[in-house]
A = this chain, B = another copy of it.
Amino acid sequence: MERSSTSGGTASLPTILDVARLAGVSKSTVSNVLRATGRVSAGTRTQVLAAIDELGYRPNVLARNLVRRRTSTLGLLVGDLANPFYSELAKLVEQRASAAGYTTMIANTDGRPDFERARVETLLEHRVAGILVLQLTGGRATVTDVLARAVPLVVLTCPEEEGADSVSVDDAEGVHAATVHLLGLGHRRIAYLTSDLIEVGSDRLRREGYLRGLREADIESSSDLIRPVSQLEAPDGAIAEAVVGLVGLCNRPTAIICANDLIAVDVLDTLEGLGLAVPADVSVVGFDDIALASLRRISLTTVSQPREELARLAVELALDRIELGFDGPPRRVHLAPTLVVRSSTGPPR
């Protein structure tokens, strides 16, 4: 027999059965008014609603999802929520998800592949309807593999991911535009500064944009001027060290293109500490256009990503597969970046 759920534990919440009994109907009927199927008479409906209200009944989504065999929660994997670019994106994604009736389960990976694996495992155990990834951090093949089999995966911000839908800005194009901008100002020695906190694929493309820009201007690239640093190992000093290295070169670069804004801001700070003027001594360019970049005191020239569009499209691609049952091959959406010129760039001395 079905027993009263209130006879059990201490603080048992009312169940659909409690509502049914109070309203003098069956569980099915309560379920029907809950799901607004329309096949309930107005009178019955009123009684049920009254019972729900009186009991303070709140449906148990776990039970519902178990029988429906799908949830309405999206997993959101993010590399570093402390990076404003990602937190802004996370906010927009949550907003879109929520508007579509989905909750979002968030997981920070700290850029660590082992964390990423564990978090993905947890998300899958929770049967999330889809997973959105802001920055995939290593272990890409395995992760993509795990995901592709089980649930829709859309990769945001990381281009060229095999097997998964992706939406990102044209990274190469963005940095190419930045390089052309610097060349136009008269720069000839331009450095590229990146770190292991940047997603590998994005970094590769951005670097390509940089190299192509130089090539088109018949400037030979120099390995001296390409500096990848490890922020995972040395979170604090890595960027500063690289900057010191660059400006210490006998043939010092007059401009530095940074793989993202956070690095660029760090570079500005370091240059200031070294007594070098921006842009007079060194021009600096970033990537992302986080809120910070537009402050007068920062005023960073940077490649802007259309965050709203990125978030909207990512959620859409996921819902296509989840709700519309789209089952086609991976889709790649590329958005155009925009170079925003501010006062961190200028002609070389």
Footprint of B on A, CB under 8 Å?
A: 9, 12-13, 56, 58-63, 65-66, 69, 71, 73, 76, 80-82, 84, 87-88, 90-91, 94-95, 98, 103-108, 110, 119, 121-127, 149-150, 265, 268-269, 272-273, 291-292, 295-298
The 10 closest A-B CB pairs, nearest first, are A87-B87, A81-B91, A297-B297, A106-B106, A61-B125, A272-B296, A62-B66, A269-B296, A61-B126, A94-B108
Q: A106-B104, A107-B103 are contacts. A91–B80 as well, Cβ < 8 Å? A: yes
Interchain nearest-CB distance for A318 vs B (Å):
16
Residues of chain B with a CB closer than 8 A to A265's CB: 295
Chain B residues whose CB sits within 8 angstroms of the CB of A63 once the complex forms: 66
Not counting A12-B69, A60-B127, a sample of 7 additional A-B residue pairs whose C-beta atoms are within 8 angstroms of each other reads A9-B69, A58-B125, A62-B65, A62-B71, A63-B66, A295-B298, A297-B298
Known: A60-B127, A66-B60, A103-B105. A273 touches B296 (CB 8 A): yes
A-B contact pairs, 20 of them (CB 8 A): A12-B69, A56-B149, A58-B150, A61-B125, A62-B65, A62-B126, A62-B127, A81-B87, A81-B90, A82-B84, A82-B87, A82-B291, A84-B84, A84-B87, A91-B108, A94-B106, A105-B106, A273-B296, A295-B298, A297-B297
Please state if A105 and B104 are interface contacts (CB–CB under 8 Å).
yes
Given A61-B126, A65-B62, A105-B104, check contact A82 B73 (CB 8 Å): no
Q: Which residues of B contact A90 (CB under 8 A)?
A: 81, 87, 106
Q: How far is the CA of A91 from the CA of B9 in the complex (A)?
A: 34
Closest beta carbon of chain B to A68's beta carbon, Å: 10
A150: contacting residue among B13, B84, B88, B122, CB under 8 A? B13
Interchain nearest-CB distance for A15 vs B (Å): 11
Q: Which residues of B contact A273 (CB under 8 A)?
A: 296
**Interface pair B105/A105, CB less than 8 Å apart:** yes
Q: How far is the CA of A269 from the CA of B56 in the complex (A)?
A: 49
**In the complex where A103-B105, A125-B58 touch, is A91 in contact with B98 (Cβ < 8 A)?**
no
State in angstroms the CA–CA spacing of A6 and B265 once bound together. Answer: 54
* Contact for A126 among B12, B103, B295, CB less than 8 A: B103
